[in-house]
Amino acid sequence: MIKHRGFPGRLPGSDFQFTIRRANPRGVTAITKRERFKDRKPADRRADSAFMAALWEHFGDQPFERGNLDAGRLSWLFGREVVAAEDPFDPESYDALLVIDEVVARASFPDAFEDDF
In-domain check, residue 68: yes
What is the pLDDT of the chain when averaged over all its residues? 90
In-domain check, residue 82: yes
Residue 115 — very low, low, confident or very high, per pLDDT cuts 50/70/90? Answer: low
In-domain check, residue 1: no
Residue 116 — very low, low, confident or very high, per pLDDT cuts 50/70/90? Answer: low
Digit-coded pLDDT (tens) for 53-97: 999 999 999 999 999 999 999 999 999 999 999 999 999 999 999
Buried b (16+ CB within 10 A) or exposed e, 22-58: eeeeeebbebeeeeeeeeeeeeeeebbbbbbbbbbee
In-domain check, residue 26: no
Q: Which domain holds residue 94?
A: 42-113
